[in-house]
Structure 1
Amino acid sequence: MRKGVGDSGLAGLRAAVAALERGWGTTGETRPDATLPFGLPCLDDHLPGGGLTLGAVHEIAAGGPEVEHGAAAAAFAAGLLGRLSGPVVWIGPRRDLFVPGLASMGLFPSRLLMVEARRDALLVMEEALRHPDLAGVVCEIDGKLDLVASRRLQLAAEGCDVLGLVLRRSRRFDDPALRQPSAAQSRWRVTSLPSAPPLAHAPDVPGLGPAVWQLELMRCRGAEPATWTVEAPDAQGRLAVAPVLADRPAAPAPARRAVARRAAGHPHP
């Protein structure tokens, strides 16, 4: 008769499994290359391991109407990959990727290998995630990402420290497919906010400053959901904490009345 595993042994096994799922070693120590820190204490202190887990798949979607074109989500992904070294495979269903915009976030064209795929996009991503010489793999998909498909991606990513990013796009900003559970390590939503005017002589002109985002951590293994207001990545892919914008009317009341009169066919007060 073999001796069974005691309660202390089971507890140790559970702790080891939980540590491995978070990208940690069995001793509880964080591997130096297991995470990609954001460089912002407010984010890194909130995330297990002090950053975004490598060797894992993460979901990113834009918020509101932007979910259709996904520009903010793509910029967020470019900033993350801009701080890694090595080639990046970017898979998409259409040729609408604005490469100069990615370069402004630190992800330069010389590192990009773009693949156009529709029905087979997830299969292409799964194969690319197994390549140890890549820095990251990005896949833009429309519609749903079920548990089976996302689990296959996660298993493929665990073989090396490749960063896997799934950019979710949809023609509906309230698409229920975006809320379905998946096996991704984390799920993020990026929503554009008004930019602060940087010019002292034009304080009422919006949109001249750096792009400002509401960055939401919707779900993450080992962390609670949270929201931050940040400035979009710079040329080195680094985020910055944005000042909180004070609520104010879009235009003075007389200007709003003038616009309303012109729209009604009365050009003069």
Structure 2
Amino acid sequence: MSPAECRHHALSLLRESIGDSRPGKSTVLPFGIDAIDGRLADGGLMLGGLHEVSPATATLSDDAAATLFTVGIAARAAAQSRRRVLWALTRFDLYAPGLEQAGLDPATLLFVEAREDKEVLAVMEDGLRHGGLAAVVGEVKRADMVATRRLQLAAMTGGTPALLARRWRKVGTCPLGELSAAMTRWRIACAPSARLPAPGVGRARWTVELARQRGGPGFTMALEACDDTGRLALPAAPRDRTIAAAGAAARAA
């Protein structure tokens, strides 16, 4: 091997060990909200990392909120990379219109229905190592430290975000109670929506808790649910809501 080839090989190994950070190649998926991205150690979600999402309680409403939070992340990853999303689960109960409402076109999804959690984790690992997907999502009730380490390594190898949706196994046992190698761990709960000037239901709100992150502290904040591009929003201040309501009334007059 010539000296030039040796240098090229050494540089390739170095890039693989630290991640390719050349200009034009993004390694982070930001939320686009300074209040969140500014508190995340990496300024967003690392694309080559494992991120866990869990409902705050075992209720169907919190479970739906956690699912839509995950959908929003996958939707933004798909829009950023222009690739498809792999979703593995043991029971197909996703609602296509709900996915679209949170920004994810069902046509961009690849579904895999497995028999048990171990198969879901194996499918996720294979999809992550492939490196050609926008994101890999898996729904499980249990994943130990060994399994999450494997997912983290696979995500790093393929440069693809792993989104692990942890479901409740039984009331009183939080899914995030198990040890994990995840870079971030999120807990999502429903919150009351804002009052409208007319009868109706306002944009859904969630209490979003970053229970743990690697390299930084956690936090909790109230956010408005994903829009049709997968983006969250900070609740408008009361004065801003009054101005918006007045503007809407004027346009209707």
Instruction: Say whether the fold is shared (TM-score over 0.5).
Output: yes
Aligned to 2:136: 137
Aligned to 1:161: 159
Distance 1:197 1:48 in 2: 34
DSSP 3-state at the match of 1:33: coil
Aligned to 1:239: 232
Aligned to 1:41: 34
Aligned to 1:170: 168
Distance 2:213 2:60 in 1: 20
Aligned to 1:65: 58
Instruction: Identify, as 1 or 2, the structure richer in helix.
Output: 2
Contact 1:67 1:170 in 2 (8 A): no
Distance change >3 Å, CA 188–CA 78, structure 1 → 2: same
What pairs up with 1:197-216 in 2 under 5 angstroms?
Answer: 197-198=195-196, 200-202=197-199, 208-216=201-209
- Amino acid of the residue matched to residue 99 of structure 1? A
Q: Where does structure 2 lack aligned partners over 5 or more consecutive residues?
A: 1-13, 239-253
Contact 1:60 1:73 in 2 (8 A): yes
What pairs up with 1:117-132 in 2 under 5 angstroms?
Answer: 117-119=114-116, 120-132=119-131
- Amino acid of the residue matched to residue 190 of structure 2? S
DSSP 3-state at the match of 1:64: coil
What pairs up with 1:78-117 in 2 under 5 angstroms?
Answer: 78-84=71-77, 85-117=82-114
Distance 2:130 2:55 in 1: 28
Distance change >3 Å, CA 235–CA 121, structure 1 → 2: same
Distance change >3 Å, CA 186–CA 201, structure 1 → 2: closer
Runs of 4+ in structure 1 off by over 4 angstroms are: 29-32
- Amino acid of the residue matched to residue 209 of structure 1? G
Distance 1:174 1:91 in 2: 26
Deviation at 1:95, TM superposition (A): 1.4
Deviation at 1:115, TM superposition (A): 0.7
Of structures 1 and 2, the one with the larger relative CO (CA 8 A, separation 6+) is 2
DSSP 3-state at the match of 1:151: helix
Deviation at 1:178, TM superposition (A): 2.9
Give CA deviations for 1:67-91 in whole Å, capped at 9, x if unaligned.
Answer: 7972111101111111122100101
Deviation at 1:30, TM superposition (A): 9.5
Q: Where does structure 1 lack aligned partners over 5 or more consecutive residues?
A: 1-15, 246-269
